[in-house]
Amino acid sequence: MADAPRQARQVKKEEVETKVSAWQTAEVAKINNRFKREEVVINGWETEQVEKASAWLKKIERKLDEQRAKAIEKTQNDMAKARRKAEEKRASAEAKRGLKLAKVLELANFMKAVGRVPTKRSFF
């Protein structure tokens, strides 16, 4: 007879353990499901932020490429302009040299014809 109350307590204990175990499983499942939903939201946010940053970087790279191309073009134009001006200055200097040489030769021929030697000050 003493076994009957012991068995009843044992059955009651097993019933409580079963209910607690079922509750625990349900709570763990709820927590895991909530975490999975949060993880999906976090992953979506992360993807959005990464895409936004990546798009910004590509935009900046495009602008830098455009600026670089403009700078190269401007530099090449400046170099070509400098070469043209230098060529013009060379041509002008060469023309002046030619005129001065012609003057000196003309004056030398005149001196030879007249028979006078130039002085330090002036021929005339």
What is the tens place of the pLDDT at every residue in 14-38? 999 999 999 999 999 999 999 999 9
pLDDT of residue 6: 84
pLDDT of residue 91: 97
- Rounded distance between C-alpha atoms, residue 42 and residue 7, angstroms: 52
Phi and psi at residue 15, to the nearest 5°: -65, -45
Residues of the chain with pLDDT under 70: 1-2, 120-124
∠ CA 91-94-99, nearest 5°, is 125
pLDDT of residue 65: 98
- Whole-prediction pTM: 0.53
pLDDT of residue 124: 52
